[in-house]
Amino acid sequence: MSEFKRADGRANDEIRPIKAEIHVLKNADGSAYFEMGNTKVIAAVYGPREYHPKQLALPQESMVRVRYHMIPFSVKERKSPTLSRREIEISKVIKEAFSGCIKKELFPKSTIDVYIEVLNADGSTRVASINAVSLALVDAGIFMFDLVSAVSVGKIGNQLIVDLTGEEDQNSEADMPIAMMPSLNKIVLLQMDGFLTMDEFNKLLTMGVEAIKKIYEKQKEVIRGSLEYLLKMYGQS
């Protein structure tokens, strides 16, 4: 097992190639596409908009609602289009991760609705979704304390690795998704499935934070590119 090598040839601390784009959906207030290797996700944000029924709206802040969904052809064996228990759980996890990152008091009596569609699943779908949602919220002009960046880390064959593929996730001894606001050094999501020693946990957390910094820079690069494009278009008008 000490001879373990990743199927795609990556180093243990290496993330997969990232491709991202914002404002990909015309009819959404904000949207983003995020690709980590073969995991491909699209997120759409609607709002802030008036909450209905009005009597259930929060008078001091907005409500955040999230729907995470894997489309039927996103996996090898076609899945039911209805939400599974896992999808409902991940929806709740992502909602909780972002609820503390958005300055909700700016939008009282309103709702911010987030829709996530996993187009192709090859591991780490929840962290790819979080990265996509973060960009979509920026595109929608919703104030956040910082971008949220996320990555999965885990243990397989007694080796500690980052950004697990689907095959690695299935064969892992432990996996741990992490999301944080990097500039504030604040973790907003930390889950773990499996068993790790305290030393392994600390090492994986360090590896995850370093990987998140790289994803964070990529997110900022995408946003800067979009702003430069808009400024160029505005200057021409």
The pLDDT value given to residue 235: 61
- Asked whether residue 65 is domain-assigned, the answer is yes
Cβ neighbours of 33 (radius 10 Å)? 20
Residue 116 burial by Cβ neighbours in a 10 Å radius (0-12, 13-18, 19+) = buried
- Asked whether residue 3 is domain-assigned, the answer is no
Residue 77 or residue 130, greater confidence: 130
Query: Residue 237: which pLDDT band, with cuts at 50, 70 and 90?
Result: very low
Split into its structural domains, the chain has a count of 1
115: domain CATH number is 3.30.230.70
The pLDDT value given to residue 55: 77
Over residues 155-179, mean pLDDT: 94
Rounded Cα–Cα distance for residues 125 and 111 (Å): 25
Q: What is the pLDDT of residues 16-71, one digit of tens each?
A: 999 999 999 999 999 999 999 999 999 999 999 988 888 778 888 889 999 999 99
The pLDDT value given to residue 147: 96
The pLDDT value given to residue 98: 95
- Asked whether residue 13 is domain-assigned, the answer is no
- Asked whether residue 62 is domain-assigned, the answer is yes
CB 43 within 8 A of CB 116: yes
- 149-183 burial string, b = 16+ CB within 10 Å, else e? bbbbbbbbeeebbbbbbbebbeebebbbbbbbbbe
Over residues 101-105, mean pLDDT: 92
Is the pLDDT at 1 greater than 50, yes or no?
no
Rounded Cα–Cα distance for residues 111 and 68 (Å): 17
Containing structural domain, residue 133: 18-236
The pLDDT value given to residue 54: 80
Query: Residue 230: which pLDDT band, with cuts at 50, 70 and 90?
Result: low
The pLDDT value given to residue 61: 86
Chain mean pLDDT for the chain: 92
- Asked whether residue 1 is domain-assigned, the answer is no
Query: Residue 206: which pLDDT band, with cuts at 50, 70 and 90?
Result: very high
